[in-house]
Structure 1
């Protein structure tokens, strides 16, 4: 991948961009501080230069202007993926939006799991992120609480970057696009303002979500720390303590593996890639008592950008740049994932060209993989509740791993864990256990 992997957690929020076309989605804050960043990808525009040499693509650091799309680019990149281009796209909704939901179809067995359950607001997922667009038509019905902000000086949970709303769309979107658990409850815990977050804020949010008695916590974010460094060791210990607290209270904690394409097994080698460390660990994804999630593509293979290693438990489909990316540098929009985005933030050139409504954008990254696993975990909890059964976090993790869609190759298992999360299979296995009386009521 043509990006500087050593700078992911050190650069501004622009590194959360899904592809060069989406530079307007996440405004850059040159003075951003903090040690935690969303688990999204850092992409540069080299593939545009290869395809259209000499063309100028201007990116506004303020987010007010996007890339200037050349007509040839629209012809070659946008038009081929439109559905029936001779017709007005708005006439095809909601089917048009659902055509993009290949990841949802993979996880739900072509929406078969929705026949069993779509979840309920009685079961809640804490989205510890940048907040959520509370008025988004696809999400508003499922936001069961206003949540809380841990960003100093920001009282509300309004999403100023779009990341948290994108994560929420993977869990509980309904209407023009579907999701894994379209009726589950979600609660925003804001730890990102316009820049990076602090580990202290994330840890406080984990503790507060636990006190609020949510059922699942999703953490589509991460940082690297050196366990040999005294200050870093304290941060690691604080994360471990907070997650252990949640686990003991019966809360499932799901976290992304990170999007640098690093092998997390060798702390010394990882430290060399990060720089300025003797040893390095990724957290919270990778820590004990978390379900750590990697990303897969449309070919059901682990993506090149997804961090991997023995600490990755399983994966979920979160897209990549397509089969031709490595050879030609040309991204395939059909390999991306469609999700929700704040209706009040600027629309990307691609969503405009595709005539999508305001509030829907394309994205890739482990940030979108983690919430899909969190959603399946919440569905299991919701079904168990209705049957009078109490599922422990460890039991849910075993069910998720037992129910995955298997990888085709052994190397995929090394990179992506037990397999790809499968909601329908997990619900079927839970049903069998309940019918057999294998779980205490």
Structure 2
């Protein structure tokens, strides 16, 4: 079951930017389905689906998939006689739960000692994370991801695609590096008239994508890993905060077609690769089709020379233990009438070919952030994602949280301050969502410096030049270590 989440944590044990799935009823009405064919989609797919009682909503030829709607409760059973279908399942909508939280009562005292944008020329002193993985900015002398021409325009040497909530197109630290984008939210999504299906509507409505973008390519009062990298926005969440696999998959495919060099996916969740039930044993479902389409889309990107970076997730789980994951899902979603049986996996993080990133923190070389998922065969590298600081780690006392240990990045200028501070245009956040774009930025700068490298070579370089933290060598917390663009660039010269 695909539990897509924004991987940015703010309140312990409760995602401020979180999603949950609405389960299908026992007898679905106008339910959407995901279908994966074993090979190519047949030429008569429309007739095949119609005879089974469905209507095709979207064709995904690059991954041999369909999104289909049906009001026939026997639709899945009817598909069983159709040759060539490898898997089909109910498409579960993932919803962004954008809670209103009192910053004092629910999240400790918000940070108020960082100057507003009109009171400072630079936020560099507050960017502990970027300072560390650029060797205090020394990497900028080696590669910034682009060059400034004689007339002042930036020529981007590499592009990073950000599949997220969109980007603030007018943010002063980002706008010169935004090279375009696309929305994959269909018209009238969730019955919302403001969703027109306009592919050019990729303005950020939640803030998460803008925060991610700043870590990659901010160039102003904040500095990203590659201040001259190009960035493209792919919006996959509706104005009401909903998405599905069949919106995410085409975004991945389109980014590859747009010839981006790197994709960042600061989203993730779990797919039940066997089955789950809703309310009673008679109604069994599986997300195997979703998992197949995800895997095919990511392979499509890698085959098109795109390095894909993903967040490991924020559930504090050992991703190598499927029993633990299934238990977590039953504990978390059991009260909705859902019961999971068999194995589940984190997606897209445990998908072959991607770089999966855990979250390190500012204060420890031995511990990752308390929320970060981990796993010896699941984590490739770590990157700074922030946490609540050492005193909270020692005591577990939420009243002793220090939000200064979060990571500072850009935030939509037209939105009110995020709950962790009083800043406008910038925000403090923590999560593997904040770790993943650091590695995506590193991959982008590497590609700018040596465009001939393949995704496998980029991954190998990032791992080889990572700073070894935790146990010596590769370990379950940090993978190969904490990624570092300065050591990667200097390592390329040896």
TM-score (norm 1): 0.78
Determine helix, strand or coil for the equivalent of 2:171. coil
Once residues 217 and 205 of structure 1 are traced to their aligned partners in structure 2, the CA distance between those partners, rounded to angstroms, is 10
Larger radius of gyration: 2
| Structure 2 gap ranges (5+) | 24-90, 147-155, 188-194, 276-284, 331-338
Aligned position for 2:160:
125
More helix by share: 1
Q: 1:119-148 deviations in whole A, cap 9, x for unaligned?
A: 122311110011011111111010011x11
Structure 2 counterpart of 1:198, from 215, 238, 244: 244
1:215 aligns with 261
Equivalent position to 2:389, from 316, 319, 322: 322
User: Given the alignment of the two structures, is residue 417 of structure 1 paired with residue 473 of structure 2, yes or no?
Assistant: no
Residues 189 and 205 in structure 1, CA contact (< 8 A), matched pair in contact too: yes
Q: Which residue of 2 is the match for residue 232 of structure 1?
A: 287
Q: 2 CA distance for matches of 1:68 and 1:264?
A: 32
1:168 corresponds to 2:203: no
Matches within 5 A, 1:148-297: 148-153=182-187, 154=195, 155=198, 156-193=201-238, 194-229=240-275, 231-275=286-330, 276-277=339-340, 278-297=342-361
Rounded to whole Å, the distance in 1 between the matches of 2:178 and 2:446 is 19
**Cα-to-partner distance string for 1:260-280 (whole Å, 9 max, x where unaligned):** 111110212211111232211
CA–CA separation in structure 2 for the residues paired with 1:78 and 1:200: 39
Q: Report the counterpart of residue 367 of structure 1 in structure 2.
A: 433
Residues 123-181 of structure 1: per-residue CA shift (max 9 Å, x gap): 11110011011111111010011x11111223210111111111101101111111111
Distance 2:378 2:236 in 1: 25
For residues 8 and 305 of structure 1, do their structure 2 counterparts lie closer, same or farther at Cα, with a shift above 3 Å needed? farther
Three-state SS of the structure 2 residue aligned to 1:404 is: coil
Deviation at 1:30, TM superposition (A): 11
Alignment match, 2:404 = 334
1:393 alignment partner in structure 2: 455
Consecutive unaligned residues in structure 1, runs of 5 or more: 1-6, 43-59, 433-441
Is this contact kept in 1: 2:236–2:248, CA < 8 A? yes
C-alpha contact 2:357 2:436 (8 A) present in aligned 1: yes
The answer on whether the counterparts of 1:37 and 1:223 sit within 8 Å (CA) in structure 2 is no
Partner of 2:447: 381
Displacement after TM superposition at 1:351 (Å): 2.9
Residue 45 of structure 1 corresponds to none
Number of residue equivalences: 379
Whether the 8 Å CA contact 1:144–1:187 is kept in 2: the answer is yes
Tell me which of 74, 77, 93 is aligned to 2:120.
93
For residue 242 of structure 1, report the CA deviation from its aligned partner: 0.9
SS, match of residue 450 in structure 2? helix
- TM-score where L is the length of structure 2: 0.70
CA distance in 2, matches of 1:287, 1:28: 21
Structure 1 stretch 227-236 or stretch 410-419: which is displaced more? 410-419
C-alpha distance in 2 between matches for 1:91 and 1:140: 18
Whether contact under 8 Å (2:111, 2:421) holds in the other structure is no
